Amino acid sequence: MRVQNACVPHDFHLNDILAASQRLGDRVRRTPLLDSAMLDARAGCRLLVKADSLQRTGSFKFRGALNKLLALDPQARERGVLAFSSGNHGHAVAAAARMLGCPAVIVLPDTAPQVKVDNCRWWGAEIVLYDPHRQDREVVGRELAQPRGLTLVPPFDDLDIMAGQGTCGLEICEQLSGLAVVPDAVLVACSGGGLASGVFTAVKAHHPQARCIVVEPVGGEKMARSLAVGTPQRNASVPATLMDAIIGPVAGAKPLEVLRRLGTDALQVSDEQVLPAMATLFDTLKLAVEPGGAAPLAAVLSNPREFAGKSVVVVCSGGNVDDHVFTRALASRDLARS
């Protein structure tokens, strides 16, 4: 039996992701797995880029959100849902709720990029802002949800969310198989661990030898520490980074358990490494990717010896970036044009 609401050992396997994939059908976009000879030359390895920035709402979060909403009973959907989010999750829940005709309340930090706030509002969701330096978003969320009977849609610590995000990994495996590529390593940006746990579960089921690596901002290595000690760790403070999508306060218990079982490694990247990675994705693949979404590529480009000659998958998990940050990314790199 699946124990959904306790942080105790539980099952989470490929079958959960296959079920999510069936449930979602073509409501979720099958995003391309891209490559580029120029990018390979720059990275010194064979790179496969999963462009989930092209997912509906501009990030992978739509996969988990829609899977969660589809798994609710119809009465709960009618009462509505609530999400607390650093932005992309809220946007995804708002869009998924609109798609299924269910009310949504989105709780956002007042530090979120304006584009993310506006995106949630656009889908017709009710917006509540909070101060991430003073308030715990989960408490804020629960206080809003209870009187209205709203279902809380957690951002990552939930098996339906993890299964939905895992469909990204399932697509990667199918696409790798079409290319006859066996991956040596798969890198995913990580905050709570929902995407990483889902993607790596799919990847390890198909490629047990693949090295699975979560990528976090320098100064916000809560999952690296959680993997080391075995229990969910918190960031001591909100890290000062442009990677706003991966600065949540705490690692997810269920994702952590999955990531530990799969033998996950961790790498950290700085803004100074992420900005040129964004420019590289613009140059070579014509993708607009947000700082957190470019973190995996930044990790590969800044650890060339670790990945030299290997087949490496990086997930570009989101593309919701403000103009001034994107412009900084373009200005960040020496064009290296002869």
At 188, list the tokens: 């995913």
* Nearest approach, Cβ of residue 211 and a copy of itself (Å): 27
* Identity of the residue, 14 or 243, whose beta carbon is nearer to a copy of itself in the bound complex: 243
The dihedrals phi and psi of 155, each to the nearest 5 degrees, come to: -75, -25
How many Å apart are CA 70 and CA 72, to the nearest integer?
6
In the bound complex, what is the minimum distance in angstroms from residue 50's beta carbon to a copy of itself?
13
Residue 238 CA to chain centroid, in angstroms?
18
* Cα–Cα distance, 199 to 178 (Å, whole number): 18
Pairing of strands 311-316, 46-51: parallel
Nearer to a copy of itself, 54 or 162 (CB): 54
Binding site for a copy of itself (CB under 8 A): 26, 29, 31-32, 34, 36-38, 51, 53-54, 56, 58, 95, 98, 114-115, 118-119, 121-123, 178, 282-283, 285-289, 319-320, 323, 326-327, 330-331, 335, 337-338
Is residue 88 helix, strand or coil? helix
Q: Is the dihedral of CA 52, 59, 189, 207 positive or negative?
A: negative
Structure tokens at 328: 């900084």
The nearest distance, CB 109 to a copy of itself, in angstroms, is: 18
Closer residue to a copy of itself (CB): 302 or 332: 332
In the complex, the smallest distance separating the C-beta of residue 75 from a copy of itself, rounded to whole angstroms, is 26
Which residue type does 54 have? L
Angle at 234 (CA atoms; ends 229, 238), nearest 5 degrees: 145
Minimum distance from residue 286 beta carbon to a copy of itself (Å): 3
In angstroms, the CA 4 to CA 159 distance is: 7
**DSSP symbol at 103:** -
Least distance between a copy of itself and beta carbon 225 (Å): 32
Q: How far apart are CA 218 and CA 200, in angstroms?
A: 22
Which is closer to a copy of itself, CB of 138 or CB of 322?
322
What does residue 187 show for φ and ψ, rounded to 5 degrees? -120, 135
Cα(17)–Cα(249) distance, integer angstroms: 26
Q: How far is the CB of 145 from a copy of itself (least distance, A)?
A: 26
**Rounded least distance, CB 141 to a copy of itself, Å:** 24
Q: Select 112 or 256, whichever has its Cβ closest to a copy of itself.
A: 112
What tokens does 300 get?
Answer: 């590969």
Closer by beta carbon to a copy of itself, 51 or else 145: 51
- Measured from the CB atom, the residue of 108 and 253 that comes closer to a copy of itself is 108
* Cα(24)–Cα(28) distance, integer angstroms: 6
Alpha carbons 102 and 149: distance in angstroms, whole number? 13
Least separation, in Å, of the C-beta of 114 and a copy of itself? Answer: 6
